[in-house]
Amino acid sequence: MSSEITVPPVLSLPGGLVGLPDVHALETIPIAGGQFVELLDPEDPSLGWLAASAEDVRPGMSATLRATGRMGADDVLLVLLASHGDPAVVTANLAGPLVVAPDGAAHQLVLEDPSFELRARLGCLAPAPLEKS
């Protein structure tokens, strides 16, 4: 992953998130040199997500959604990340990306196209085994 994410310090989500309709704002905290952003609910700081640029996960995804009118030319597209299993595997939710306008207005899309997976695998978090000498 390599794109630096540039979003306002607070996102406004008037429609909430899928399954969390009462989450109307998210504070953004850039991490890892801006390659990721932490999204925290200011009303409940224990509720948060890690997000990445959709372009780092699925190159061309933003262009596809712009071409279909789902996002504007200056909007940023974020995907939420999660880890699952043992060893942990990081996945991105391509079916429910966040569209963020330059002014911080944001909304979550629900994409029913099977090419936008709910759990697109990014990689394994387990450390590589040590080589025996």
- pTM of the shown model: 0.87
Please report the domains of the chain, with CATH numbers, ordered by start residue: 10-124 (2.30.290.10)
Q: What is the pLDDT of residue 49?
A: 94
Q: What is the pLDDT of residue 107?
A: 97
Q: What is the pLDDT of residue 66?
A: 97
Q: Are 125 and 28 in contact (CB under 8 A)?
A: no
- End-to-end CA distance of the chain: give it in Å, rounded: 32
> What is each CA distance from 28 to 12, 31, 61, 82, 111, in whole angstroms?
11, 10, 22, 17, 24
pLDDT along the chain (133 residues), means of 10: 83 94 95 89 92 92 96 96 84 96 97 91 58 55
